[in-house]
Amino acid sequence: MTDEDVLAMTDVSVADTAVYLGWSERNVRSSLREGRVPFGVAVKENQRYIYRILPEPLVKFKHEGLPVVPFHTLLRALSGLKEVMA
């Protein structure tokens, strides 16, 4: 499956997402439910989950991955937060 194939879709299925990323469907579902990926959401409705996966963020995720923040930047941000909360 190509980027163009994904971008031509309105809503990408879990199965297509798994093929596109080379992941298992189970991994796609759990990643969406746990909020670990930025390309879609999982909403629980009547004891079942509904998955909504958007094509543009999915393609971006495949090529760019998740943003990486250097550890020292996180420490600086957390120390600033600690001072504000004190």
Reported as a pLDDT band with limits 50, 70 and 90, residue 3 is very high
Q: How far is CA 46 from CA 12, 15, 49, in A?
A: 22, 22, 8
Count the domains in the chain. Answer: 1
Note the pLDDT tens digit of each residue in 14-40.
999 999 999 999 999 999 999 999 999
pTM here is: 0.76
SS3 annotation, the chain: CCHHHHHCCCCCCHHHHHHHHCCCHHHHHHHHHCCCCCCEEEEEECCEEEEEECHHHHHHHHHHCCCCCCHHHHHHHHHHHHHHHC
Q: pLDDT at residue 82 above 70?
A: no
User: What's the confidence (pLDDT) of residue 67?
Assistant: 72
Rounded average pLDDT over 45-64? 94
Domain that holds residue 35: 3-85
